[in-house]
Amino acid sequence: MDHTPPPFFKRGPAPLVRLFFFASLSLALLVVDARFRYVDGLRSWLALAAYPLQRAATWPIDVAMSLGNYFSTQASLIAENERLRAQLLGNVQDAQRYRELQSEAAEMRRMIGTTEKMPVLAMPAEVLYLSRDPYAHKVFIDRGSVQGVRAGSPVADDTGVVGQVTRVHPLLSEVTLLTNPDQAIPVQVVRNGLRAVAFGGGASGMIELRYMPANAEVEGGDRLVTSGIDGTYPAGLAVATVVRVERDEEHSFARVICKPAAGIERGRYVLVLTGETARPPRPEETQAKDRRGEKTRRSKAKDKSAGEKATGDDSQ
């Protein structure tokens, strides 16, 4: 123990009093943060303070990877080159067909008089680290508001959608993964165009379609892509593949379990899609509200909150 004599006369408030003070402060913060989001400024400052440590924490992995690269043998490099060349050939063919189809689609769009789709811009970003919270299903990426990331932008990797930017700090931003139970994404079955909303499945690492009618035409192996009707996700990004469909006679809804297409918990590099689609403003809903009264208002509030989840936090 150290030698300083205990200061008998100035010890401050008793520990129990301090505990009550700080506990009530924390509870107030919790409520304010969960309900009103007033403290996002404070959060940004704290995140900026933690940023150097977070940046430093990715350093050991960088070193390990560069060491691994250094020692990779020539044979494996040659094999990888071969594989990449074969892949490139396939991609070039696809790209040519894509260009052709794109011009064809643009022509058809002009013919039926709909607006032309805006091109989607992609910003590459590196995943810094997973959130230290087994419940959260979030990752942090090294691009923030300084680089022009906006809250609500979709995030994808080379194989499909990974998630959505939910909070933007100056130098990094937070991406909620598709597997987060609170994250919803509007999807479409490729085979027959059936639309649905997919929710995260939590710890299982799967995503599921809820509230599908029991006779919905979905079967194992169906591919799901973004439908694009929410105006947030561009249409046609791969989302998941249906693994199995549970039709229980007790429930009137079918439960559809799907496996995400992207390497959600694995990838190290992602793309932040920042293409702003020129979408029309939301139609006014005041008249309908007056006419239909209290009951529908409540259900509408529910709809609206679900819609906000799906389209990201537009209000930020």
Residue numbers at the binding site for other proteins (CB under 8 A): 1-4, 6-7, 11, 15-16, 18-19, 22-23, 25-30, 33-34, 39, 42-43, 46-47, 49-50, 53-54, 56-58, 60-61, 129-136, 138, 140, 167, 174, 181, 202-203
The answer to whether 239 touches 256, Cβ cutoff 8 Å, is no
The answer to whether 155 touches 131, Cβ cutoff 8 Å, is no
The DSSP output letter for 117 is P
Closest to 184 in 3D by CA, of 194, 195, 172: 195
- HSE-CB at 304 with a 13 A cutoff on CA atoms is 10
Query: Least distance in Å: CB of 99 to other proteins?
Result: 39
Query: Least distance in Å: CB of 106 to other proteins?
Result: 40
Judged by CB, which is closer to other proteins: 80, or 182?
182
Tell me the C-alpha distance between 163 and 233, whole Å.
Answer: 10
Sign of CA dihedral 26, 28, 34, 39: negative
Judged by CB, which is closer to other proteins: 57, or 79?
57
Judged by CB, which is closer to other proteins: 34, or 278?
34
Query: Least distance in Å: CB of 308 to other proteins?
Result: 16
Query: Least distance in Å: CB of 64 to other proteins?
Result: 11
Judged by CB, which is closer to other proteins: 135, or 269?
135
- 243: its two tokens: 């693994």
Query: Least distance in Å: CB of 202 to other proteins?
Result: 5
Judged by CB, which is closer to other proteins: 30, or 288?
30
The DSSP output letter for 302 is H
